[in-house]
Amino acid sequence: MDILVVGGGGREHAICRSLSQSKQAGKIYCAPGNAGIANVAECVDIGVFDFDALTAFALQKGIGLAVIGPDDPLAGGIVDAFEAKKIPVFGPRANAAEIEGSKAFMKDLLKKYEIPTAAYETFDDYEKALAYLRLQKAPIVVKTDGLAAGKGVTVAQTLEEAEKALHDAMVGGSFGSAGSKVVIEEFMAGEEMSILAFVDGETVRAMPAAQDHKPIFDGDQGPNTGGMGTYSPLPHIDPAIIERAIEEIVKPTAKAMVSEGRHFTGILFAGLMIEADGTPRTVEFNARFGDPETQVVLPRLQSDLLEIFLAAVNGTLDQVEIEWSDEAAVCVVLASEGYPAAYPKGKVITGIEAAEQNGGLVFHAGTARSEAGELVTAGGRVLGVVGQGAGIAEARDAAYAATEYIRFEGAYKRSDIAAKALK
């Protein structure tokens, strides 16, 4: 079966790698892909929003399954476009992807079905939002309603900081139309946790839990990014808490979506906060694989990823065997200097082969080939370097050791990925 993966980041590299290991996989195409994905798939120069060109390509090549990676095209209806052409596709339709595309919709859904989350209010009027904010206490959270590449959330430690975030989003237009509506939310303290699940309607098959590191600097300081590193499993979190989150949050949300006429097929990704007493509450939902969570979860998958995707699409997800390795995985992101603000591109990258020869697994997030054929930086997050081992400590050492072989001008990484698991 020939496969088309849509996207071009570290997540899609991890997906393509796992699909390439399937006995059922024929040729794998990736649109648009990147320099690393080109090692496991044929990259096709079609943008993720060019639905007509993507579906035409899929029909021309007789694609047996399309897999959609990024959030924006999902919210824009790419799955609906593929289904209209009778092309099998893994991912939620636009009305189901709204659980990520609109934070206000997601919060209202959780409130209606009494699924645990933080108290909140939604505003599309700046003056009303500002008046409400000035009655609150810090810390407090300000979120853009729409998609903002993982950067539309401000955890404000002071009301002044919150007011600036509100102004930037609603008046300054920092996030475009995504910030025309905002959610102002109660701050939740505790331990963050990500649970990704294969979902088809009310059938939920959860993956092992992972934890991301969003802020750019060590100690969770500085502005939010798309994610600076991840690890899985979470040995310091009681398995009973993880199971409780699945039973009280993930499964009820999938069921709620069906009740709302928004049958969800694809990856449902719950971002959670574990409070001091062990209570899990919902921070957010995403409608696709997380990036860089995917880079530590999929290497632990021992079953056939293509078989799981097809089962979800064909309505037999409840019948497929899904097995996971007991090994740990840790991903350290190498970012461009200046990220998540402005950053340079075109910096030559060396040492990836050496990193892989010495136990690292390297996923390309923002790379390209120069006219001279050199591997160069092409994004804010450039590479995700994964180490694996019997436990978090071993996997973490392997990941950081592998990063030492890789060089590009201005390369930056956090030094404390997975440290929380070792306290």
Q: pLDDT per residue over 131-144, tens digit each? A: 999 999 999 999 99
> What is the reported pLDDT for 150?
64
- The pLDDT of 357-378, averaged and rounded, is 97
Residues contacting 277, CB < 8 A, separation 6+: none
Largest CA distance in the chain: 59
Average pLDDT of the residues of the chain: 95
Question: Coil, strand, or helix at residue 312?
Answer: helix
Q: Give helix 94-101 / helix 251-259 axis angle, nearest 10°.
A: 130
- The pLDDT of 270-283, averaged and rounded, is 95
Phi-psi region of 97 (alpha: psi -120 to 50; beta: other; left: phi over 0): alpha
Fold observed for domain 3-93: Rossmann fold (3.40.50)
Q: In what order do the strands lie in the sheet with 3-7?
A: 42-43, 28-32, 3-7, 65-68, 89-90
User: Is residue 278 predicted with pLDDT exceeding 80?
Assistant: yes
> What is the reported pLDDT for 359?
92
Q: Which residue has the higher pLDDT, 145 or 301?
A: 301
- The pLDDT of 334-359, averaged and rounded, is 97
Residue limits of CATH 3.40.50.20 in the chain = 3-93
CB 317 within 8 A of CB 201: no
Instruction: Tell me the per-residue pLDDT of 187-200, one tens digit each, with 9 for 90 and over.
Output: 999 999 999 999 99
- Owner of token pair 């996207």: 7
- Owner of token pair 């040492």: 351
Instruction: Tell me the per-residue pLDDT of 156-190, one tens digit each, with 9 for 90 and over.
Output: 899 999 999 999 888 888 888 878 889 999 999 99
Question: Coil, strand, or helix at residue 334?
Answer: strand
> What is the reported pLDDT for 303?
98
- The pLDDT of 19-47, averaged and rounded, is 97
Write the burial class of residue 200 (CB in 10 Å: 0-12 exposed, 13-18 middle, 19+ buried): buried
Distances 143 to 2, 102, 220 between C-alpha atoms, Å: 40, 10, 18
> What is the reported pLDDT for 237?
94
Question: Coil, strand, or helix at residue 125?
Answer: coil
- Owner of token pair 């007789």: 62
User: Is residue 265 predicted with pLDDT exceeding 90?
Assistant: yes
- The pLDDT of 325-345, averaged and rounded, is 97
* Separation CA 264–CA 254 (nearest Å): 7
- The pLDDT of 216-221, averaged and rounded, is 94
Residue limits of CATH 3.30.470.20 in the chain = 191-319
Question: pTM of this prediction?
Answer: 0.94
How far does CA 283 lie from the centroid of its chain? 14
Instruction: Tell me the per-residue pLDDT of 382-422, one tens digit each, with 9 for 90 and over.
Output: 999 999 999 999 999 999 999 999 999 999 999 999 999 99
- Owner of token pair 């530590």: 296
Q: Choose among 309, 196, 189, 298: nearest CA to 245.
A: 196
Q: What is the CA angle 172-174-178, rounded to 5?
A: 110
> What is the reported pLDDT for 178?
78
Q: What six digits make up the tokens of 302?
A: 């021992």
Q: In what order do the strands lie in the sheet with 203-206?
A: 203-206, 191-200, 265-274, 280-286
Q: Which residue has the higher pLDDT, 178 or 327?
A: 327
User: Is residue 151 predicted with pLDDT exceeding 80?
Assistant: no
> What is the reported pLDDT for 146?
79
- The number of beta carbons lying within 10 Å of the beta carbon of residue 153 is 19
CB 377 within 8 A of CB 347: yes
Tell me which architecture the domain covering 191-319 has in CATH. Answer: 2-Layer Sandwich (3.30)
- The pLDDT of 86-98, averaged and rounded, is 98
As assigned by CATH, the class of the 328-422 domain is: alpha beta
Is residue 82 within a helix (H) or strand (E), and if so which, with residue range? helix 78-84
Instruction: Tell me the per-residue pLDDT of 55-67, one tens digit each, with 9 for 90 and over.
Output: 999 999 999 999 9
User: Is residue 305 predicted with pLDDT exceeding 70?
Assistant: yes
Partners of 125 in the β-ladder? none
How far does CA 94 lie from the centroid of its chain? 17
CB 218 within 8 A of CB 414: yes
Percentage of the chain modeled with pLDDT above 70: 99
Residue limits of CATH 3.30.1490.20 in the chain = 125-180
CATH superfamily of 125-180: ATP-grasp fold, A domain (3.30.1490.20)
- The pLDDT of 285-297, averaged and rounded, is 96
Confidence of residue 87 (pLDDT cuts 50, 70, 90): very high
